[in-house]
Structure 1
């Protein structure tokens, strides 16, 4: 493969114009770059120009793969063969780029991590393995816990920020989530729903990303530790999934930690079907 088949740019508008059709062609598999691109293009100040690198692989007159590197310097890739992953690693090494890690479908991430180590000597460490699910037939849990879903409003902001901070700590995200930093976090652009008990006490929450290419991603889902095991997470996930479908979403997706059998079993019970595995590697 010719190395110049990869076209690199720091111009998000140029990148979007040439890669949007490719990303929209597989909205489930491309859900992460779709939502990230939508945020960066529609929210002024979402990133500093020059801090992000984009790449697209052209072959036979069309885009076949893309990558982007945000300010965190963690590379995100769409699926690549091992040969193409190695060619990309070689190209980026020659250009002097450095990365803190890579996130992609499991096979692509593993192939790139191995190639990156071979070309640079950087030791990859698997940080987390994820399952990607898409909604099949929505199946509410039985029995449904007492209570109801309610959209989160401005009056709930302090409560929401606290729960997002607790969620980030639970999943090991190295981010600061408080009133001052909220607007710059990945949590800010989402719409949230609380599950409340009959007396109006919030006991669980679920967020959804804005719809893009007919696809909605559920993220995050969180129940405080002392309230788990009572069906609240399933109930609130059904609530936001049903609302997304009612609003016209063609696909509803979510990620789970592969090491958490409880959440994986829960989402399968309510109708989510596993699509593929994802992985995130850190580079020493």
Structure 2
């Protein structure tokens, strides 16, 4: 038996789920850091839900930051994930999709589709990487720096280009909300640039937990690629966080062999595979 609990308060949700999810902190850094970041932005999550055993043990958790975004799932067995989907489908009108680790996501998506009589559409196969020790690449000309307010327009432009090229299926906030997030991120030193007479590459890091720091986005415009700027910038930014005692983590699209290779060359190691699945009306 699985009992479903809904929360409206992110701090309470984190208080309940963190002790269990922190037992596998890297796998669960996505859901935990998204909850932290959403709360830090002063927003309420669209959906906070947990599944417990009869004796109160947390078995699975889900977070949907916005109604137009997929729900992020914690790691769970296939049986628990399927039961969670079945129970949740009786109490939640709809979900645009879900993201989570294998095999959790496949079991959840299959049961949700059956319960809601909809279809599933694979959006992205993802691989989670983590880094503890940087392997410095060859340093290209130029150097890196922290972004400043005068970089805002360029970072906005490059974020939109990154979304269109790397994650075209991902739902995006309004331009006004995206710009406000970038402005907030720049003020908190969350963005970094490589300069070689001009700005040539961007790395962001807008989410973290106590011991982990997410790296995203990573973007170099096409006319500046092939010089090693992104590799050098990722390595430099990652080293900065490692020096602070953080483990760096990021996702890659498994279809992008170039990025998967680049990150491994600077020290990132694969940990787990995830999927982003969309639910489509039949």
Q: TM-score, normalised by structure 2?
A: 0.90
Distance 1:73 1:239, change over 3 A: closer
Q: How does 1:58-77 map to 2 (within 5 A)?
A: 58-59=52-53, 61-70=56-65, 71-72=67-68, 74-77=70-73
User: Which of 208, 219, 222 in structure 2 is aligned with 1:222?
Assistant: 219
Q: TM-score, normalised by structure 1?
A: 0.89
SS in 2 for 1:204: strand
Q: Which runs of 4+ in 1 moved over 6 A?
A: none
SS in 2 for 1:90: helix
Matched-pair contact (CA < 8 Å) for 1:164–1:187: no
Q: Which runs of 5+ in 1 are unaligned?
A: none
SS in 1 for 2:81: helix
Distance 1:159 1:66, change over 3 A: same
Aligned residue number for residue 79 of structure 1: 75
Q: How does 1:1-284 map to 2 (within 5 A)?
A: 2-4=1-3, 6-44=4-42, 46-47=43-44, 52-59=46-53, 61-70=56-65, 71-72=67-68, 74-141=70-137, 143-171=138-166, 172=168, 173-175=170-172, 178=175, 181-184=178-181, 188=185, 191-197=190-196, 199=197, 201-249=198-246, 251-284=247-280
Worse-superposed segment, 62-71 or 220-229: 62-71
User: CA shift at 1:96, angstroms?
Assistant: 4.1
What CA deviation, in whole Å up to 9, does each residue of 1:84-121 have, x standing for no partner?
11111111122243111110013211111111122121
Q: Which runs of 5+ in 2 are unaligned?
A: none
